[in-house]
Amino acid sequence: MDERSLSEGLFRAGIVRFGDFTLKDGRQSPFYLDLRRLVSYPETLALVGKAMSARAAGLTYHRIAGLPYAGLPIGVAMSLAGGRPLIYPRKEAKDYGTKKLIEGEFKAGERVLVVDDVITSGGAKLEALVPLREAGLVVEDVLVVVDRQERGGRVLADAGIRLHSVLTVRTLFTHLQASGAVGEQDMRRAIDFVTASGQ
């Protein structure tokens, strides 16, 4: 996988933005990663799917578990690229029909690779794993497109979960700066924020 091409594709799709943004936890960040935009850029989404499948090549898993909402199209793209079946936990149980908490076919005892767009603090990932584990699935690995390199990796590790990523924000920014897409000031603010925030 060509990390630089992927980084540039994400930037062209408006997924990597610089400025002032409020994060979910209320902090102000000088950059934002909006991978929900991938659904409108099929070529970039396909590239992400191939990169995710390649990154998962050394991992042992029976199924991909895409996390709604941003991780679901990424999981589909990865499933198509690598030929692995996909399931997904619902945000809420249906109160009609099958009333399932997890969509797709699976068997208790199978290993699933949890797939999502970005990891920041890691708390949301741990919450999303609960219904999978309650259904008897084995969850030991999480794969994201971009690791913001804050607390997420440590939080997952403390819970016995291994974090894997296609890109880290530092790698992403380095490629974008090398291609001239990001100026020195934006780059420095972003790196300073990441350094102060965690790892």
Q: What integer pLDDT is reported at residue 85 of this predicted model?
A: 98
| Per-residue pLDDT tens over the stretch 60-91 | 999 999 999 999 999 999 999 999 999 999 87
Q: Could you tell me the sign of the dihedral formed by the alpha carbons of 50, 56, 60, 63, in that order?
A: negative
Is residue 142 a contact partner of residue 116, using CB atoms and an 8 Å limit? Answer: yes
Examine the pLDDT at 96 and tell me if it is beyond 60. no
- H-assigned helices in 33-183: 42-55, 71-82, 123-134, 152-158, 169-178
- Look at the chain and report how many structural domains it folds into: 1
pLDDT at 167: 97
The CATH number assigned to the domain holding 155 equals 3.40.50.2020
Average pLDDT over residues 19-37: 91
Residues 6+ apart with CB under 8 A from 91: 68, 69
How high does pLDDT run on average in the chain? 91
Distances (CA, A) of 170 to 53, 141, 178: 21, 22, 12
Q: 133 and 163 in contact (C-beta within 8 Å)?
A: no
What percentage of the chain reaches a pLDDT higher than 90?
75
Residue 110 structural domain: 3-197
Confidence of residue 120 (pLDDT cuts 50, 70, 90): confident
Distance CA 96, CA 82 (A): 33
pLDDT in tens, 134-189: 999 999 999 999 999 988 999 999 999 999 999 999 999 999 999 988 888 998 99
CB hemisphere CA count around 85 (13 angstroms)? 11
pLDDT interval class at 51 (50, 70, 90): very high
Residue 97 is predicted with a pLDDT of 52
Tell me: pLDDT of 199 over 80. no
pTM above 0.85, yes or no: yes
